């Protein structure tokens, strides 16, 4: 594909690429990258500092920078923390009490543009141990100075105040060194004369005494509070008992009223019940009396009335045929008697004898015409009702014969037996007929 491209152009492009590659290599060689925990110092050319001074270097805080070849050199300075332990013995505090102190300080190279030049001028190219040594000596001197302004009690009790004063005292020297105090911690404070221990014992005694006093006060207050609470509790208990007693009295009163009302209602209910029972019993007795009357009427009176009516009907039924037959017989006998008066008494006897069968047949026929369809017999318990009823038929026959005798004036029985003559006249024989004698 490059056959048609002139050789001059190909050569020019190849040369340009080579030059570009060389420039890239040179730029990469001259480029410096600054990490976050360090600073780059480009030395070799003059620069104006922030305070107006002319210095022979420039500082790059993070990012990157390009070194001018041949003219500049590049150095790196670590700005991470450096721990500096400190131990001070026999440092006199205010009051002339020697103290022993152990502390630790965390310092770093300042990144403030006002003081970074001091650190570069003093520690560029120096190891971190040298920086730690210088800082230790500087801080220990200031430590002694600050201890001389504080009492052992202040140093021991308010270590934050001590660290703050030490930082304020050492700040100017650290600024000149281009360093920055990050953290200062007091680890231990002691003395060879047991001053702090005595103060501690005194304070402990005071604390114990105060604790005892406070405990006594607290106990007294607790007793007072307990007594007050007990009194209030007793008062509350008394009030509660009184309230309970009142409520119980009210309850008793209400219960008594309820019981009284209940008893009154019970008495009223019992009286009403007794009255209702009496009324019911009275009504029951009335009903029983009515039922007994009806029962007696049904068992005794009605049957007696029925029996009476039956007897009356039976008697009327028995008497009606007899009366009719008697009247007919009387008429017939009257005719016969009238006829025989003309012929004498003997003819009557003969006639009776001759017609005796007819006479008895007529009497029997008359008696047989008495019919009874249904008879209800009520026995009084002596067994005479049925025989009396059975003997009523012969009695009927006898009554008919007596009626014949009374009508004709002839004793048929004597005529038949022949023991009598013509009977004398009587009231039933108005013609004064003589009874014929039996032959």
317: containing domain: 310-417
Distance from C-alpha of 283 to C-alpha of 277, rounded to nearest angstrom = 10
Residue 392: per-residue pLDDT? 67
Is 161 part of any domain? yes
Domain shared by 317 and 382, yes or no? yes
Domain shared by 105 and 155, yes or no? yes
**DSSP conformation class of 381:** S
Reading the block at residue 374, the tokens are 């249904």
Residue 414: per-residue pLDDT? 67
Residue 193: per-residue pLDDT? 67
Residue 383: per-residue pLDDT? 64
379 falls in which pLDDT band (50, 70, 90)?
A: low
Domain shared by 83 and 168, yes or no? yes
CATH number at residue 144: 3.30.479.30
Q: For the segment 155-181, what is each residue's pLDDT rounded down to a tens digit?
A: 777 778 888 888 888 888 888 888 888
Q: For the segment 14-40, what is each residue's pLDDT rounded down to a tens digit?
A: 777 877 887 788 777 777 888 888 888
Domain shared by 139 and 105, yes or no? yes
Domain shared by 177 and 97, yes or no? yes
**DSSP conformation class of 88:** E
433 falls in which pLDDT band (50, 70, 90)?
A: very low
Is 210 part of any domain? no
* Neighbouring residues of 51: CB distance < 8 A, sequence distance ≥ 6: 114
Is 223 part of any domain? no
Domain shared by 327 and 410, yes or no? yes
Domain shared by 72 and 156, yes or no? no
Is 188 part of any domain? yes
- The mean of the pLDDT values for the chain is 75
Domain shared by 87 and 70, yes or no? no
Distance from C-alpha of 60 to C-alpha of 33, rounded to nearest angstrom = 9
- Domain boundary among the residues 143, 178, 193 is at 193
Determine which of 50-64, 335-349, 353-367 has the lowest per-residue pLDDT on average.
Answer: 335-349
pLDDT: which is higher, 15 or 355: 15
Is 402 part of any domain? yes
Domain shared by 105 and 167, yes or no? yes
Q: For the segment 284-296, what is each residue's pLDDT rounded down to a tens digit?
A: 788 777 777 777 7
Is 336 part of any domain? yes
Is 380 part of any domain? yes
Strand partners, 73: 43
H-assigned helices in 124-181: 128-147, 152-157, 159-177
- The distance between the two most distant Cα atoms of the chain, rounded to a whole number of Å, is 228
Residue 435: per-residue pLDDT? 38
Q: For the segment 50-109, what is each residue's pLDDT rounded down to a tens digit?
A: 667 777 788 888 777 878 877 888 888 888 889 989 888 877 777 777 888 888 889 888
The single residue listed with the structure tokens 């965390």 is 106
Output the CA angle 144-146-147, nearest 5 degrees.
65
Domain shared by 323 and 402, yes or no? yes
Is 371 part of any domain? yes
Domain shared by 155 and 138, yes or no? yes
* Domain count across the chain: 3
């Amino acid at each position: 594909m490059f056959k048609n491209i002139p050789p001059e152009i190909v050569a020019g492009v190849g040369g340009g690429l080579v030059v570009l590659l060389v420039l890239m290599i040179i730029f990469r060689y001259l480029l410096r990258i600054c990490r976050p925990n360090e600073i780059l110092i480009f030395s070799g050319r003059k620069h104006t500092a922030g305070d107006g001074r002319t210095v022979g270097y420039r500082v790059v805080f993070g990012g990157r920078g390009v070194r001018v070849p041949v003219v500049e050199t590049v150095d790196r300075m670590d700005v991470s923390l450096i721990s500096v332990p400190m131990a001070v013995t026999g440092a006199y505090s205010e009051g002339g009490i020697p103290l022993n102190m152990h502390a630790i300080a965390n310092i770093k190279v300042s990144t403030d543009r006002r003081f970074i030049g001091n650190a570069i001028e003093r520690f560029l190219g120096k190891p971190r141990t040298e920086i730690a040594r210088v800082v230790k000596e500087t801080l220990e001197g200031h430590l002694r100075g600050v201890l001389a302004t504080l009492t052992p009690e202040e140093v021991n009790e308010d270590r934050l105040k001590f660290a703050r004063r030490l930082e304020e005292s050492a700040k100017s020297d650290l600024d000149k060194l281009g360093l920055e105090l990050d953290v200062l911690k007091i680890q231990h404070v002691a003395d060879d004369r047991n001053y702090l221990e005595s103060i501690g014992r005194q304070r402990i005694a005071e604390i114990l005494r105060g604790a005892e006093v406070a405990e006594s006060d607290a106990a007294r207050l607790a007793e007072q509070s307990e007594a007050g609470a007990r009194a209030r509790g007793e008062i509350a208990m008394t009030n509660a008992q009184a309230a309970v007693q009142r409520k119980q009295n009210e309850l008793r009163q209400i219960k008594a009223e309820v019981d009284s009302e209940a008893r009154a209602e019970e008495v009223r209910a019992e009286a009403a019940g007794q009255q209702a029972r009496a009324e019911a019993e009275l009504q029951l007795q009335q009903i029983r009396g009515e039922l007994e009357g009806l029962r007696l009427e049904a068992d005794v009176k009605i049957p007696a009335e029925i029996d009476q009516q039956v007897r009356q009907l039976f008697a009327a039924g028995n008497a009606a045929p007899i009366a009719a037959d008697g009247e007919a017989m009387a008429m017939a006998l009257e005719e016969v008697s009238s006829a025989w008066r003309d012929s004498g008494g003997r003819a009557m006897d003969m006639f009776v004898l001759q017609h005796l069968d007819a006479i008895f047949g007529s009497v029997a026929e008359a008696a047989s015409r008495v019919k009874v369809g249904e008879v209800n017999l009520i026995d009084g318990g002596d067994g005479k009702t049925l025989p009396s009823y059975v003997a009523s038929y012969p009695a009927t026959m006898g009554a008919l014969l007596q009626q014949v005798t009374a009508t004709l004036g002839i004793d048929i029985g004597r005529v038949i037996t022949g023991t009598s003559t013509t009977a004398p006249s009587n009231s039933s024989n108005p013609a004064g007929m003589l009874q014929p004698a039996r032959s």
